[in-house]
A and B are shown apart, each in its own frame.
Chain A
Amino acid sequence: MSVKIEYHKFDVVVVGAGGAGLNAAQVASQYCKTAVISEVYPTRSHTISAQGGISAALGNLEEDHWHWHMYDTVKGSDYLCDQDAAEYMTKQAPEMIIALEHIGLPFSRTPEGKIAQRPFGGHTAEFGKRAVKRACYAADRTGHAMLQTLYEKSVAQGTHFYSEFYALELLVNDGAVNGVLCFDIQNGELHIFNAKAVVFATGGNCRIFQTNSNAHINTGDGLALAMRKGFSWSDAEFFQFHPTGIYGAGNLITEGVRGEGGILLNAQGERFMERYAPTIKDLAPRDIVSRSMTKEVLEGRGVGQFKDHTLLKIDHIGAANIMEKLPGIHELALVFAGVDCTKEPIPVNPTAHYQNGGIPTGYLSQVIKGNMEKEEFVPGFFAAGECASASVHGANRLGTNSLLDLVVFGRTAGEQAAKYAMANSIVSLKDDAGSEGLANLQKYANANGKYTFGEIWGELTRTMQTKMGVFRTEKLMKECYSTLLELEAKMDDYRVNDKSSVYNLDLIEALELNNMILVAKACTQAAILRKESRGGHFRDDYPDRDDVNFLKHTEVYLEEDCKTPRVDYRKVRLQPLTVETFPPKARVY
């Protein structure tokens, strides 16, 4: 069958238009011809939803230091992050925030007119002594303010946008990444972008869980595309379950609520976090708070008809304060919980929120391919943001460190990709470039079998929720994996009802579902093999951290069949760039 494909040539192609992708693009555009590909209009990327803030040791309200921030990041990660990347990110943070302010980001302000800062979970002064005000914010719409500002800056910078383009295949020739195959959602046409450097910034994948805080489009496409080409997903088993999802809906209530004085209560009206984290209480890192809440429920102290959740109380800080600093939360609580939070507490439960791992990179955002014995950078391939793993989050990300990760590693990816593009000539396309992505597209476009999106996605997310959630065991995870295999088989008997060439969302959902199943299998397999508890990965059957056997990154590759996960490992970079290593210690708060 002959298919019409339109070809484009760029120096740099960025896939993804969230905070990471746009910052990479606006920087790369200053040096060379850069395109951004996004399955939604840029301002509709998930970064728009980020609420509470972005961390940086600016010290605008009290003394702070990047080294303290680095310590918190390393400890928060349960010592699985790469300490060179943690140093790089926290050291660049203050200057990065200033750069964002200079291009217009409307930060909230202190009385003197400086950028305002609030406390956030796990961020402390003097290496754990007390909570510190480190999160810079624009009310509770920080991601919104950031994403729109970066979009506007990219527009001013002349970035070429391809919106509502869906990436189908990462193109590789002789070990070098040289482009992407895309599908124009608006008219069904195919495009191949041949580029000197490709930056992946495709965001996260928490749509594989039933209760999640993520947008519809967070389906892990970037991971699936990279894995199918022989690259790995680092630390796949680590997800972040954010403590305060709205009960029943999963939508997020920012940790900024607790930063502003909100507290968690059980059925007895007890502020239970005082028991689990005596020093920083409700502002303990997310993995710890989520587990504590789940424990309260399991021990019979949950609230509501089914005693299955807890309460987040904020009314005591006063309605005026809430409306000024947390207006978006007030609206979300009204719509999704039917609660006026200036008067009553919000019912909350942990919600799948963030993918801690990702495509592995060095601290300069170059994608790494490797194992315990050796590793190398992949020519022409860079990654940043939630889809990547530098790694600054390790086993558990601190709140506000994601937005920072996006902009710091986004900028670095943009700079490095531009530099690479200017120093190297374009690698030509293979004769059959795009054939795999095309075959997969045609498989689903012509799928006339039995199963449709609703039923398979429903079962996928319910299974992941109950068997790969806050508490895990070998037995549950193995059950999970066999269900995933059944679902995968069903994808061969799938039906796409919609045959239109125009905005065929039924077809896009099929492609995303296919990716979600692959991604779910990969992380479940990684979780089964990590026989310890660390950060967001907690096992009832191995409740302790095991640094002797597991202080290493998981790397999930695919076998030759492009379906079966093969779990390998890679060394953690414990050596920072200039300071001393923070050696692993017990994690108490």
Chain B
Amino acid sequence: MTTVTFEIFRYDPDKDKEPYYQTYKVELRRPGYLMLDALNQIKWEQDPTLTYRRSCREGVCGSDGLNVNGVNMLSCMTKVEDLGADHIVVQPLPGMNVMRDLVVDVDDFFNKFIAVKPYLIRKSPNPDKEIYQSPEDRKKLDGLYECILCGCCSSSCPSFWADKKYLGPNAALRAWRYIVDSRDEGAEERLPILNDKHGVWRCHTIYNCVEACPKELNPTEAIMNIRKMLLDQQV
């Protein structure tokens, strides 16, 4: 059985003045052994104090974004063997305050998501039936609605690190998901929020967020689309 070395970021504000790294040996017990299996192996067999978030264990709840060998990913969907390394450094998502070990404070991330009014805004009255939407219009939501709110994108974004008030790629993606929804009539309410100096203009189109997204979504494209819409509206 292959054994891999894990070097994991540790910090407990109750007792540690400074963060430090702790090393563990993990056995890869079957082909396709996942990062989350490895963390669970440490927690359940070696060191119950190791702390990380997890819930669905299948890449849909967004609990377990981590930085592994320098790249943001979900522990539950990453096979250790795919990392192609026998020394693995695990850190909390960068650019977010660490609460404990691999757990970061995500309140700011969620608040920014909420700031862009992520819900259907309608002025026209609703019909008795469903609001019809053609398959073509519905297709425009693909690549947008699948976001799992894991924060891997915003956490990889240099602008998000530099400007604490920057809305970030995730919020822009969600705003665009509603703006392009044929049923929505709230663009006017959202565009000024996105046009703010901490809005979409903060993005330097470096595409880190696109690379970091475990769901292969494209927040940068959403940002470009929003900018285009803002520019078109000015004329």
- In the complex, per-residue mask of B24-50: 1 if CB is within 8 Å of any chain A CB, else 0: 000000111010000000011101110
State which of A109, A141, A336, A505 has its C-beta within 8 Å of the C-beta of B134.
A109
Indicate if the CB atoms of A98 and B129 lie closer than 8 Å.
yes
Residue B133 interfacial (CB < 8 Å): yes
A46-B56 Cα distance, complex, nearest whole Å: 6
Interface hit among A7-15, A222-230, A495-503: A495-503
For residue A326, CB closer than 8 A to chain B, the reply is no
Cβ of B219 under 8 Å from chain A: no
Main secondary structure of the interface of B (DSSP, over half): loop
Residues of A within 8 A of B49 (CB): 497-498, 500, 506
Is B149's beta carbon under 8 Å from chain A?
A: yes
Q: Which of A111-119, A414-422, A469-477, A520-528 touches B? A: A111-119
Q: B48, A215: Cβ atoms under 8 Å?
A: no
Chain A nearest Cβ from B193, distance in angstroms: 15
- List the one stretch of A67-75, A148-156, A581-589 in contact with chain B: A148-156
Measured CB to CB, the nearest residue on chain B to A504 is B51
Contact indicator per residue, chain B 119-156, by CB within 8 Å of chain A (1) or not (0): 11010001011111111011001000110110000000
* Interface-central residue, B30, B53, B130, B183, by most chain A CB under 10 Å: B130
- Interface centre among B61, B77, B135, B145, by most chain A C-beta atoms within 10 angstroms, is B61
In the complex with contacts A152-B119, A496-B48, A215-B55 CB distance below 8 A: yes
Known: A44-B62, A114-B132, A144-B148. A497 touches B100 (CB 8 A): no
CB contact list, B1-35 vs A, under 8 A: 12-15, 30-32, 34
Interface string of A454-496 (1 = CB under 8 A from B): 1001100000000000000000000000000000000000001
Contact partners of B32 in chain A: CB under 8 A = 335-336, 338
Q: Determine the distance from Cα of A56 to Cα of B103 in the docked complex, in whole angstroms.
A: 40
User: A101 and B131: CB pair below 8 A?
Assistant: yes
Interface string of A28-63 (1 = CB under 8 A from B): 000000000000110111101100000000000000
Contact B145 A145 (CB under 8 A): yes
In the bound complex, what is the Cα–Cα distance between A412 and B126 (angstroms)? 22
Instruction: State which of B48, B54, B138 has its C-beta within 8 Å of the C-beta of A453.
Output: B48
Count of inter-chain pairs, beta carbons less than 8 A: 160
Contact A215 B149 (CB under 8 A): no
Collect the chain A residues with CB atoms within 8 Å of residue B43's CB: 454, 505-506
- CB < 8 Å neighbour of B62 from A43, A248, A497: A43
Give me the interface of B with A, judged by CB distance under 8 Å.
Answer: 12-15, 30-32, 34, 43-45, 47-49, 51-63, 77, 79, 99-101, 103, 106, 110, 114, 117-120, 122, 126, 128-135, 137-138, 141, 145-146, 148-149, 178, 181, 183-184
List 4 extra interface pairs beyond A336-B58, A502-B13, CB under 8 A. A141-B146, A332-B58, A497-B49, A502-B100
4 A-B pairs with the lowest CB-CB distances in the bound complex, closest first: A454-B44, A104-B120, A113-B132, A152-B119
What is the interface of chain A, defined by CB distance below 8 A to chain B? 40-41, 43-46, 48-49, 97-98, 101-104, 106-115, 138, 141, 144-145, 148-149, 152-153, 155-156, 186, 215-217, 248, 251, 328, 331-332, 335-336, 338, 452-454, 457-458, 496-506, 509
